[in-house]
């Protein structure tokens, strides 16, 4: 009996991951391979999608927040409300990845600027140099998360993969 339950639970988790990937693909964010061709996603509201990505157990799905905000800066107006509904680790992920998108957009002159929403919450002192801000953010994410990840390289990776996807589709 528990084997069947465990199998269904694994499939549910996989389906949720597939649904998130499908939602991203439906929005033109082809950052992640996978999903199901023609799959329908229940994540129609941007705030629900943002929260689901921030809560995801999969690092690749959490990281897709950066290209989501770069591709859809209009979602910025949903970020604060989504953050308020998250537990502290997911909220930190959202705050840091959104902030990374803000400074990557400035650094690479992305078409639409994202407003800075979280520098005060993260206790960051910003300067005019986006590289300095990204380094400060990466350091702060290490401090607050307790994990020793190279966050700066993680942010850059998200940018590079998103940019390659844009170039592949002629953007």
Query: Which is more confidently placed, 155 or 6?
Result: 155
d(CA 67, CA 163): 9
DSSP 3-30: HHHHHHHHHHHHHHHHHHHHHHHHTT--
φ/ψ (deg, to 5) at 41: -110, 140
**pLDDT (tens digit, 9 = 90+) per residue, 78-113?**
999 999 999 999 999 999 999 999 999 999 998 778
**pLDDT (tens digit, 9 = 90+) per residue, 31-64?**
887 655 555 555 668 999 999 999 999 999 999 9
Residues of the domain holding 102: 2-168
Whether residue 23 is predicted with pLDDT greater than 70 in this model: the reply is: yes
What integer pLDDT is reported at residue 2 of this predicted model? 46
Whether residue 171 is predicted with pLDDT greater than 50 in this model: the reply is: yes
Whole-Å CA distances, 12 to 3, 5, 16, 30, 42: 14, 10, 6, 22, 14
φ/ψ (deg, to 5) at 133: -65, -40
Instruction: Tell me the two tokens of residue 156.
Output: 């850059």
The neighbour count for residue 101, using CB atoms within 10 Å, is 27
> How many domains, in total, are found in the chain?
1
CB 155, CB 107: distance < 8 Å: no
């Amino acid at each position: 009996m528990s084997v069947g339950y465990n199998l269904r639970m694994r499939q549910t988790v996989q389906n949720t991951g597939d649904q998130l990937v499908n939602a991203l693909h439906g929005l033109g964010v082809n950052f992640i391979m996978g999903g199901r061709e023609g799959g329908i996603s229940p994540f129609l509201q941007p705030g629900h999608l943002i929260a689901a990505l921030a809560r995801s157990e999969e690092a690749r799905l959490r990281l897709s927040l950066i290209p989501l905000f770069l591709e859809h800066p209009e979602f910025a107006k949903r970020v604060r409300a989504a953050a308020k509904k998250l537990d502290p680790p997911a909220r930190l992920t959202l705050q840091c990845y959104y902030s990374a998108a803000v400074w990557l957009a400035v650094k690479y002159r992305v078409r639409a600027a994202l407003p800075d929403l979280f520098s005060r919450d993260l206790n960051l002192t910003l300067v005019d140099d986006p590289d300095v801000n990204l380094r400060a953010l990466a350091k702060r994410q290490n401090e607050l998360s307790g994990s020793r990840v190279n966050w700066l390289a993680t942010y850059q990776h998200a940018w590079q993969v998103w940019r390659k996807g844009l170039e592949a589709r002629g953007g």
